[in-house]
């Protein structure tokens, strides 16, 4: 190889080596550059880590500082808590879930004075053991292990009941333990020795007071009985003396003795009743009774006093409320007498209203009854309302000092109502009147029997003439509940202006100024009006004797019982033009005494009654008298009732008429009624006859061409 070639090869090799060196240097430079970047990133990360570590160190220092403060606060709160607990005179202790004492105050540990074992860490069962072994608690006649078992069972229950124990020194401790969610127990030991001692003293004082009260009541009861006997003699002899020939002065003296004696008997009766209640000797005697009838009986008794003062006594008995209940009617009458008597006594003008409402029937067969007695009297000041129910209390002021009384009536009424399980109240304003009310619950006498209004047919529009607004409102509501179109007015003059062919019935008060009810009836008849006219009167006897009685279809005692009113309406229908005749009734009866009894039974009815003494006479009178109804005795001479009825039916077969025939017979064996009715009679009545049944048949048979047979209806009888 030539030198030139060798030099060329060396030059190429050197150039290649230089290029390789440059390449490696470039790679080394790149690696150094990357390493520098990594070093810088690592340095930044180290700096950040150092900062975070420093922050953590700072936070730890702050937390440690806060914990130190919190621990200090806890220590302060704990010291304050235990300082407060130690100041409590009652025992206080904590137990953990294993029933071991955590801590207790000195009052709790003082009970175990001298027992070093009773300290934090002791178990509850060990405490019970120490209590019985050391005689700390008086367990009476109980055995120690039984007492411990009972107390341990109580302790382990989820919610231990409070327990009262007696210590050896006579002190009483009430244990109240409450278990927390984690099982820990907080135990309180309250010293109730003073409370127990006070309760014993209170019971003893109450016992002595009750004994003294019973002795007082027994004395009053005995004295009342002793006084009543001679006083009855005084009053009785005064009554007999008044029946003898006396001059005016002697009669005045005798009347004063009688009235004073009766007033004294009222006082004695009040004292006697009150003493019975106080001595717990008063017993309710429950029996079936008619509440509405009781109320109307009382109103009838008190009516005279009210009428003398010019007062209207009204009764508003709920149409849909039953009337027959089971209770003590005597005591209910006594309550109502007190309330009604006070209402009339303290009312100088206006009215007294008895309102009876309630829930007709509860699920248990009872009715909730509300009775109120409203008056327009002097009223009661607000501050005296509760005072009046006290014993021997009356509202003393210049207005009522003239009203005498024992002051026991309302106190007795309140006690009787409470004895019946009810309540009594009063609402009043001075000079505006008072409302006394009571609420009781009574069983229905017959829960299946409902007192619903009667169905009135043929009557549509009724005109009520009543000067007193409250009484007029009661009638309007009662008749409106029957579906009637009711109008009201205050005087006879207004009634004449309103009367027309569209009025089917007029119900009017008797005593009205300018034109009374009887004068109104006459004026309506003179004006050509013939609608039925019912008069409501406080004095039905006076109305019956008036010549205008022929213009009336019925006279009802005021205030009218709803049953009496409905019975009267059931017999009334709008009349045809022209005057109506009396209903004709034929009674065939051969026995003179029975004829007298029958006539007495129907004497209050507006009917034309004729008697036949045998069957032949009955057939003859049927043809000549043309009766609307026949009462036929079955056993009669010459022709008995069955044959007479057959003869009458043969006559009717030709005329197409049919007169109801009611059998009256003493034959009441099974099968007699079938045989009698088969002879052509319509109804069968077995003797002895009942007045109500006789009257009912007469009313049902009254034709439209005759006047309603109802004449005077006594309110009390109608209510019963």
Q: CATH code at 345?
A: 3.30.565.10
pTM comes to 0.49
Domain match, 244 and 325 both: no
CA-based nearest residue to 351, from 258, 257, 469 = 469
- Quote the CA–CA distance of 615 and 648 in Å, as a whole number: 10
Domain match, 177 and 136 both: yes
- Quote the CA–CA distance of 296 and 300 in Å, as a whole number: 6
The whole-number pLDDT of residue 398 equals 46
- Quote the CA–CA distance of 33 and 473 in Å, as a whole number: 118
Domain match, 153 and 269 both: no
Number of Cβ within a 10 Å radius of residue 554: 25
List the CATH number of the domain containing 125: 3.30.450.20
Helix (H) or strand (E) holding 50: helix 3-87
Domain match, 186 and 201 both: no
Instruction: Give mean pLDDT, residues 305-320.
Output: 86
Q: Express as a percent the part of the chain with pLDDT over 70.
A: 85
The whole-number pLDDT of residue 392 equals 45
Is residue 257 scored above 70 in pLDDT?
Answer: yes
DSSP state string for 514-535: SS-HHHHHHHHHHTT--S-EEE
Is residue 628 scored above 90 in pLDDT?
Answer: yes
Domain match, 362 and 396 both: yes
Domain match, 80 and 113 both: no
Tell me, yes or no, whether 158 lies in a domain: yes
Tell me, yes or no, whether 713 lies in a domain: no
Q: Name, of 241-255, 319-333, 517-531, 688-702, the range with top average pLDDT.
A: 517-531
- Quote the CA–CA distance of 259 and 238 in Å, as a whole number: 9
408, 443, 478: which is the final residue of a domain? Answer: 443
Chain-centroid distance, C-alpha 199:
36
Q: How confident is the model at residue 506 (pLDDT cuts 50, 70, 90)?
A: very high
Domain match, 408 and 292 both: yes
Structural domain boundaries, residue 491: 461-570
Tell me, yes or no, whether 566 lies in a domain: yes
Tell me, yes or no, whether 145 lies in a domain: yes
Tell me, yes or no, whether 720 lies in a domain: no
Domain match, 292 and 439 both: yes
Geometric angle at alpha carbon 255, from 251 and 261, rounded to 5°: 150
- Domains held by the chain: number: 6
Is residue 509 scored above 80 in pLDDT?
Answer: yes
Helix (H) or strand (E) holding 289: strand 287-290
410, 443, 476: which is the final residue of a domain? Answer: 443
Q: How confident is the model at residue 510 (pLDDT cuts 50, 70, 90)?
A: very high
Geometric angle at alpha carbon 13, from 10 and 14, rounded to 5°: 85
Tell me, yes or no, whether 554 lies in a domain: yes
Tell me, yes or no, whether 719 lies in a domain: no
List the CATH number of the domain containing 243: 1.10.287.130
Domain match, 466 and 542 both: yes
Q: Express as a percent the part of the chain with pLDDT over 90.
A: 20
Instruction: Give mean pLDDT, residues 294-304.
Output: 81
Domain match, 650 and 629 both: yes
Domain match, 186 and 234 both: no
161, 191, 221: which is the final residue of a domain? Answer: 191
Domain match, 479 and 535 both: yes
609-620: pLDDT as tens digits: 999 999 999 999
Which alpha helices (DSSP H) does 136-192 contain, by range?
144-156
Which of the 8 DSSP states describes residue 181?
T
Tell me, yes or no, whether 173 lies in a domain: yes
Contact 352, 418 (CB under 8 A): no
- Quote the CA–CA distance of 266 and 319 in Å, as a whole number: 35
- Quote the CA–CA distance of 85 and 72 in Å, as a whole number: 20
- For residue 688, say if its preceding peptide bond is cis, omega within 30 degrees of 0: yes
């Amino acid at each position: 190889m030539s030198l030139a070639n060798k030099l060329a090869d060396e030059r190429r090799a050197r150039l290649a080596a230089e290029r390789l060196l440059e390449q490696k240097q470039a790679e080394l430079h790149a690696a150094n550059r990357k390493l520098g970047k990594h070093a810088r990133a690592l340095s930044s990360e180290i700096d950040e880590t150092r900062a975070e570590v420093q922050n953590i160190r700072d936070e730890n220092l702050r937390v440690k500082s806060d914990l130190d403060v919190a621990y200090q606060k806890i220590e302060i709160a704990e010291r304050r808590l235990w300082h407060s607990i130690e100041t409590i005179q009652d025992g206080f202790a904590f137990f953990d879930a294993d029933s071991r004492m955590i801590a207790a105050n000195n009052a709790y540990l003082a009970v175990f004075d001298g027992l070093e074992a009773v300290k934090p860490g002791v178990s509850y069962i060990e405490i019970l053991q120490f209590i019985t072994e050391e005689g700390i608690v008086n367990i009476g006649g109980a055995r120690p292990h039984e007492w411990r078992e009972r107390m341990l069972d109580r302790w382990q229950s989820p919610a231990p009941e409070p327990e009262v124990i007696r210590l050896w020194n006579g002190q009483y401790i009430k244990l109240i333990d409450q278990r927390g969610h984690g099982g820990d127990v907080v135990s309180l030991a309250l010293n109730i020795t003073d409370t127990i001692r006070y309760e014993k003293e209170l019971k003893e004082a109450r016992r002595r007071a009750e004994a003294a009260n019973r002795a007082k009541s027994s004395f009053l009861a005995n004295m009342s009985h002793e006084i009543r006997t001679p006083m009855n003699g005084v009053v009785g002899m005064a009554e007999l003396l008044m029946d003898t020939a006396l001059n005016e002065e002697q009669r005045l003296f005798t009347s004063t003795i009688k009235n004073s004696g009766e007033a004294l008997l009222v006082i004695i009766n009040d004292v006697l009743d009150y003493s019975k209640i106080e001595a717990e000797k008063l017993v309710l005697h429950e029996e079936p009774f008619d509440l509405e009838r009781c109320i109307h009986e009382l109103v009838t008794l008190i009516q005279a006093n009210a009428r003398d003062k010019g007062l209207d006594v009204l009764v508003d008995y709920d149409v849909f409320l039953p009337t027959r209940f089971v209770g003590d009617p005597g005591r209910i009458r006594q309550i109502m007498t007190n309330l009604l008597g006070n209402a009339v006594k303290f009312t100088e003008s206006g009215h007294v209203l008895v309102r009876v409402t309630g829930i007709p029937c509860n699920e248990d067969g009872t009715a909730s009854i509300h009775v109120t007695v409203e008056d327009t009297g002097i009223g009661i000041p607000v501050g005296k309302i509760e005072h009046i129910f006290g014993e021997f209390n009356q509202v003393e002021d210049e207005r009522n000092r003239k009203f005498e009384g024992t002051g026991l009536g309302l106190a007795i009424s309140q006690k009787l109502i409470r004895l019946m399980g009810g309540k009594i109240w009063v609402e009043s304003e001075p000079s505006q009147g008072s409302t006394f009310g009571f609420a009781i619950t009574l069983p229905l006498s017959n829960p299946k029997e409902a007192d619903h209004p009667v169905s009135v047919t043929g009557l549509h529009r009724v005109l009520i003439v009543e000067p007193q607004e409250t009484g007029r409102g009661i009638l309007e509501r009662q008749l409106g509940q029957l579906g009637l179109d009711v109008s009201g007015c205050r005087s006879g003059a207004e009634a004449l202006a309103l009367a027309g062919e569209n009025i089917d019935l007029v119900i009017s008060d008797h005593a009205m100024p300018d034109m009374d009810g009887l004068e109104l009836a006459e004026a309506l008849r003179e004006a050509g009006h013939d609608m039925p006219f019912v008069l409501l009167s406080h004095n039905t006897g006076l109305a019956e004797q008036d010549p205008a009685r022929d213009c009336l279809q019925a006279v009802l005692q005021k205030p009218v019982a709803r049953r009496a009113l409905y019975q009267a309406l059931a017999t009334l229908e709008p009349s045809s033009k022209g005057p109506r005749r009396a209903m004709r009734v034929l009674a065939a009866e051969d026995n003179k005494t029975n004829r007298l009894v029958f006539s007495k039974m129907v004497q209050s009815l507006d009917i034309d009654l004729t008697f036949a003494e045998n069957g032949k006479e009955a057939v003859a009178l049927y043809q000549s008298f043309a009766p609307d109804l026949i009462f036929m005795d079955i056993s009669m001479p010459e022709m008995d009732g069955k044959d007479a009825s057959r003869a009458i039916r043969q006559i009717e077969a030709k005329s197409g008429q049919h007169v109801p025939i009611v059998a009256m017979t003493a034959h009441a064996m099974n099968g007699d009624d079938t045989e009698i009715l088969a002879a052509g009679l319509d109804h069968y009545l077995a003797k002895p006859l009942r007045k109500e049944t006789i009257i009912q048949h007469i009313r049902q048979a009254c034709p439209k061409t005759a006047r309603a047979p109802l004449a005077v209806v006594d309110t009390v009888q109608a209510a019963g």
